[in-house]
């Protein structure tokens, strides 16, 4: 690991330690314990889904694979980690601590969670973050997952440190060869399954290590927002391809979507180009003090313009938005925070901790705050042909404003989404995804 990583990580932990210590002082805690998590088998089963440590833990130590480990903060002391390396010949235990991260805290290697259990009962006012069923003991005398403290930790995580920005940038760079390989596989007529294999092979990460399950959607499947299958056989025709797939770096996520049209799909290709231009204009507005709700509303106007230009809707863009027509074509939010979780925390909370619920007309919007330097957000406008939502539009009084023949022609292409990860700064935004596509050449 380069020296720069050690430095960035040490500064990150210092910053978070100071955030945590002020929250603890304010809320009257002398000790904060954070459990990594542990793999939990499925119900009545001995098999567990792929494991990843809790994001609160990963946002403090770069160990997404650590299990049965415990992190402790006490004011004025170095953070302490009980790092569990069990003697296990059924599984490969986690690797030895590496100095680039381990030098920044006090690490004790233990072979079982028994080694730290007594910390839960130690005297002093303490808070514990973790799941009881994963801790395998009760919370002792600790306050379990205290809301106010977690809100303060979440708030700190909204402003990414240089270490976090570095990791998200590297995760984006890692995903780029995958997106290129996937586009090539699509143009060669591959199945969804084979496209996914091409993606994973180029990213050099297993699906279990990715921050979320890749969405690999051919044709109409692109209209299913979180399409979760990958068909093993190619479809009879390849009209369009939407891929929403990321990569991880030290537990931090990239979340990238691209959409492609086959050469014979001029009409859909024009929609993709218009969406790409609109998306870049939106990315350029990712600036300090911008209200994300307003940017989302502006996205509806951009979608309306595309609907009008593509001949789908015969109505002025402002009127389309007012009438709620665009919500039938663009039913999700413009974007969300991204970090140690792909949908990162505190999107619905103001910096002072008060609730910022999404507007009634936009319930799926995951981020309702004013942007601040250090925020990293996704910008992911889309336009889809979703039968269920189109049926509702057809049944409404606005049906006569829709060119249903144009809709029918585009229906087999499913939809378009373009998604980048963008850093808010004091000045111009930094589009980490487009930057990665420029930096990483094939």
Which positions touch ligand GLY (CB under 6 A)?
Answer: 212, 244, 255, 380, 419
Distance of alpha carbon 175 from alpha carbon 256, whole angstroms: 8
Q: Find the DSSP H helices in 28-130.
A: 55-58, 99-102
Between 220 and 244, name the residue whose CB sits nearer to Mn ion: 244
**Contact by Cβ (8 Å): 190, 198:** yes
298 binds, among Mn ion, ligand GLY, none (CB under 5 to 8 A by kind): none
Closest approach of Cβ 226 to ligand GLY, in Å? 7
Distance of alpha carbon 314 from alpha carbon 56, whole angstroms: 48
Buried b (16+ CB within 10 A) or exposed e, 309-322: ebebbebebeebbe
Between 220 and 244, name the residue whose CB sits nearer to ligand GLY: 244
Closest approach of Cβ 171 to ligand GLY, in Å? 13
Closest approach of Cβ 214 to ligand GLY, in Å? 9
143 binds, among Mn ion, ligand GLY, none (CB under 5 to 8 A by kind): none
Between 113 and 347, name the residue whose CB sits nearer to Mn ion: 347
Handedness of CA 101, 106, 112, 118 (dihedral sign): negative
Distance of alpha carbon 108 from alpha carbon 229, whole angstroms: 42
- Among 329, 300, 304, smallest CA distance to 392 is for 329
Q: How many residues bind Mn ion (CB under 5 A)?
A: 5
Closest approach of Cβ 297 to Mn ion, in Å? 19
Contacts of Mn ion in 400-429 (CB under 5 A): 419
DSSP 119: G
Using the rule CB under 5 A, is 378 a contact of Mn ion?
A: yes
Between 317 and 347, name the residue whose CB sits nearer to ligand GLY: 347
Between 155 and 380, name the residue whose CB sits nearer to ligand GLY: 380
Distance of alpha carbon 140 from alpha carbon 157, whole angstroms: 28
Distance of alpha carbon 295 from alpha carbon 283, whole angstroms: 10
Distance of alpha carbon 419 from alpha carbon 179, whole angstroms: 12
Between 88 and 206, name the residue whose CB sits nearer to ligand GLY: 206
Structure-token pair, residue 111: 């072979």
Closest approach of Cβ 383 to ligand GLY, in Å? 15
Residue of minimal CB distance from ligand GLY?
Answer: 244
Between 141 and 226, name the residue whose CB sits nearer to ligand GLY: 226
Position of tokens 């990665």?
436
220 binds, among ligand GLY, Mn ion, none (CB under 5 to 8 A by kind): none
Contacts of Mn ion in 238-267 (CB under 5 A): 244, 255, 257
Closest approach of Cβ 436 to ligand GLY, in Å? 16
**Contact by Cβ (8 Å): 420, 437:** no
Structure-token pair, residue 184: 């090539």
Between 165 and 366, name the residue whose CB sits nearer to ligand GLY: 366
Closest approach of Cβ 210 to ligand GLY, in Å? 10
Distance of alpha carbon 13 from alpha carbon 168, whole angstroms: 17
For the chain, the maximum distance between any two Cα atoms, rounded to a whole number of angstroms, is 72
Q: Which residues pair with 261 in a beta bridge?
A: 240
Position of tokens 């999107």?
347
420 binds, among Mn ion, ligand GLY, none (CB under 5 to 8 A by kind): none
Position of tokens 């002093």?
124
Between 97 and 335, name the residue whose CB sits nearer to ligand GLY: 335
DSSP 36: -
212 binds, among ligand GLY, Mn ion, none (CB under 5 to 8 A by kind): ligand GLY
Closest approach of Cβ 107 to ligand GLY, in Å? 34
Closest approach of Cβ 195 to ligand GLY, in Å? 16
**Contact positions vs Mn ion (CB under 5 A):** 244, 255, 257, 378, 419
């Amino acid at each position: 690991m380069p020296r720069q990583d050690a430095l960035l990580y040490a500064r990150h932990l210092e910053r978070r330690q100071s955030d945590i210590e002020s929250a603890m002082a304010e809320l009257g805690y002398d000790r904060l314990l954070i459990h990594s998590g542990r793999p939990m088998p499925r119900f009545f089963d001995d098999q567990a889904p792929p494991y990843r440590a809790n994001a609160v833990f990963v946002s403090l130590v770069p160990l997404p694979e650590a299990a049965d480990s415990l992190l402790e903060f006490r004011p004025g002391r170095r953070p302490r980690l009980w790092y569990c390396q069990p003697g296990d010949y059924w599984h490969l235990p986690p690797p030895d601590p590496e100095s680039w991260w381990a030098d920044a805290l006090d690490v004790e290697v233990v072979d079982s969670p028994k080694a730290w259990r007594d910390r839960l009962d130690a005297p002093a006012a303490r808070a514990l973050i973790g799941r009881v069923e994963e801790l395998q003991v009760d919370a002792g005398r600790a306050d379990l997952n205290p809301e106010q403290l977690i809100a303060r930790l979440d708030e700190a995580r909204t402003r990414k440190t240089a270490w976090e920005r570095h990791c998200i940038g590297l995760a984006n760079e890692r995903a780029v060869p995958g997106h290129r390989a996937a586009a090539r596989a699509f143009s060669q007529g591959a199945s969804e399954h084979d496209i996914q294999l091409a993606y994973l092979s180029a990213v050099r990460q297993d699906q279990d290590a990715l921050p979320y399950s890749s969405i690999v959607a051919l044709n109409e499947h692109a209209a299913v927002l979180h399409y979760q299958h990958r068909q093993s056989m190619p479809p009879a025709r390849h009209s369009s391809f939407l891929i929403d797939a990321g990569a991880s770096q030290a537990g931090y996520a990239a979340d990238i979507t691209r959409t492609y049209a086959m050469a014979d799909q001029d009409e859909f290709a024009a929609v993709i180009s218009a969406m790409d231009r609109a998306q870049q204009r939106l990315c350029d507005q990712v600036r300090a003090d911008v209200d994300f709700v307003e940017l989302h509303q502006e996205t509806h106007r951009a979608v309306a313009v595309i609907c009008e230009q593509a001949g789908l809707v015969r109505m002025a863009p402002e009127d389309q938005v007012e009438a709620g027509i665009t919500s039938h074509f663009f039913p999700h939010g413009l974007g969300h925070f991204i970090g140690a979780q792909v949908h990162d925390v505190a999107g619905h909370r103001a910096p002072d901790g008060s609730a910022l619920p999404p507007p009634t007309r936009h319930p799926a919007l995951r981020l309702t705050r004013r942007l601040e330097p250090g925020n990293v957000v996704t910008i992911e406008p889309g336009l889809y042909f979703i039968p269920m939502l189109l049926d509702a539009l057809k049944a409404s009084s606005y049906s006569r404003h829709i060119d249903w023949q144009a809709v029918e022609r585009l229906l087999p292409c499913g939809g378009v989404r373009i998604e980048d990860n963008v850093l808010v700064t004091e000045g111009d935004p930094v589009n980490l995804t487009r930057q990665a596509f420029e930096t990483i050449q094939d």
